[in-house]
């Protein structure tokens, strides 16, 4: 009798790719974006669902009904998780995917599943200059990744569960020691660093991603916000943000640039940011949330890579 296999995957584009290579097993698609908005550590409980529905409705226009159809229906399939002999997690190298992956592992642990879990994670591919997403791999590369999947140890799973709890907690400074710990999650340290740098810079009040988008305006000849979004998607590093997420960031950055005769250009405020001569924390402060913390309750100090509590 063959093993019963379940694939938990990071998106619908990958689902199509996996169906094309005819892998054995059933597929659950993890359709969430837990790197933004409030979360609690008990994935799928009433508080979690209420927080996520409210956030996604207000920020992205996702209706409660759609959330139930697209995410909760998939989560419910994991109720029978112990009927499977192997569970394969398919998640990418970036922060977007890693936060979802941590939540998925935490949920499996909540369901008392800690055996025969494997990870397929894309990132650096031989011969490729840039980090590569799973859905961008060829069929041959996907099969190779699957063949070389990593069996997650109990220490790996405990670490993932712990970091998810820290992410949902009220002190992101506690994440920093996790950067130095070794595990089978090859890109986790880079993702934790990227997350820590999402808090406002102590000198300017803008975070690393926001500042880098202003640098793109300064450096490149960009004629529209749509084109700026494309550049930001290409040069965002380990964040893995979608176009709708990047467009939301650009919208918040409007006080720092304008449309001139040649295209987008920094205004005086934007130049102050890149020069580090003015702090815009008060002007930008809002209720934006990452996991269990408000973005503006901490400041990031690039000199020592520390988070400072306000």
Per-residue pLDDT tens, the chain, 310 aa: give them.
568 999 999 989 899 889 888 888 999 999 999 999 999 999 999 999 999 999 999 999 999 999 999 999 999 998 878 788 999 999 999 999 999 999 999 999 988 777 899 999 988 877 777 788 888 888 999 999 999 999 999 999 999 999 999 999 999 999 999 999 999 999 999 999 999 999 999 999 999 999 999 999 999 999 999 999 999 999 999 999 999 999 999 999 999 999 988 899 999 999 999 999 999 999 999 999 999 999 999 999 999 899 999 8
CATH assignment of the domain containing 112 = 3.40.1360.10
Q: Is residue 203 part of a domain?
A: no
CB 192 within 8 A of CB 95: no
Q: How many residues does the chain have?
A: 310
Mapped onto helix, strand or coil, the DSSP state of residue 301 is: strand
Beta strand 298-301 with 86-91 is unpaired
List the one residue out of 10, 305, 286, 233 whose CA is nearest residue 134: 10
Say whether both 141 and 69 belong to one domain. Answer: yes
CATH assignment of the domain containing 257 = 1.10.10.10
Domain count, the chain: 2
Say whether both 125 and 167 belong to one domain. Answer: yes
pTM, 2 dp:
0.95
Beta strand 86-91 with 117-121 is parallel
What backbone phi and psi angles, to 5 degrees, belong to 216? Answer: -65, -40
Q: Is the dihedral of CA 174, 180, 184, 187 positive or negative?
A: positive
Domain hosting residue 24, numbered range: 5-193
Query: H-type helices in the chain, by residue range?
Result: 12-20, 46-60, 64-67, 73-76, 95-110, 139-147, 154-167, 188-196, 208-219, 225-234, 243-252, 268-275, 281-284
């Amino acid at each position: 009798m063959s093993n019963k296999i379940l694939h938990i995957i990071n998106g619908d584009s990958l689902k199509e790719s996996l169906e094309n290579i005819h892998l054995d097993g059933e597929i659950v698609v993890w359709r969430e974006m837990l790197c933004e908005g409030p979360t609690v550590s008990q994935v799928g409980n009433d508080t979690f669902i209420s927080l996520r529905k409210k956030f996604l409705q207000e920020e992205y226009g996702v209706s409660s009904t759609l959330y139930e159809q697209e995410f909760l229906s998939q989560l419910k399939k994991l109720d029978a998780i112990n009927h499977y002999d192997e569970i394969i997690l398919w998640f990418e190298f970036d922060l977007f995917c890693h936060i979802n992956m941590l939540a998925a592992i935490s949920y499996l642990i909540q369901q008392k599943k800690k055996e025969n879990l494997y990870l397929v994670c894309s990132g650096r591919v031989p011969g490729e200059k840039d980090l590569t997403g799973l859905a961008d791999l060829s069929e041959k590369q996907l099969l190779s990744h699957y063949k070389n999947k990593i069996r997650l140890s109990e220490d790996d799973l405990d670490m993932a569960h712990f970091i998810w709890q820290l992410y949902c907690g009220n002190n992101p400074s506690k994440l920093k020691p996790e950067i130095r710990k070794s595990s089978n999650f090859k890109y986790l340290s880079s993702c934790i660093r990227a997350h820590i740098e999402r808090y406002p810079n102590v000198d300017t009040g803008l975070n690393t991603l926001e500042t880098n988008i202003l640098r793109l305006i300064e450096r490149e000849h960009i004629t529209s916000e749509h084109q700026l979004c494309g550049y930001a998607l290409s040069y965002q590093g380990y964040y893995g943000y979608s176009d709708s997420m990047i467009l939301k960031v650009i919208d918040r950055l409007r006080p720092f640039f304008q449309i001139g005769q040649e295209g987008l250009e920094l205004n005086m405020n934007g130049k102050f940011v890149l020069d580090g001569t003015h702090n815009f924390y008060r002007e930008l402060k809002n209720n934006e949330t990452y996991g269990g913390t408000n973005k503006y309750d901490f400041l990031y100090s690039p000199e020592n890579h520390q988070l400072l509590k306000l």
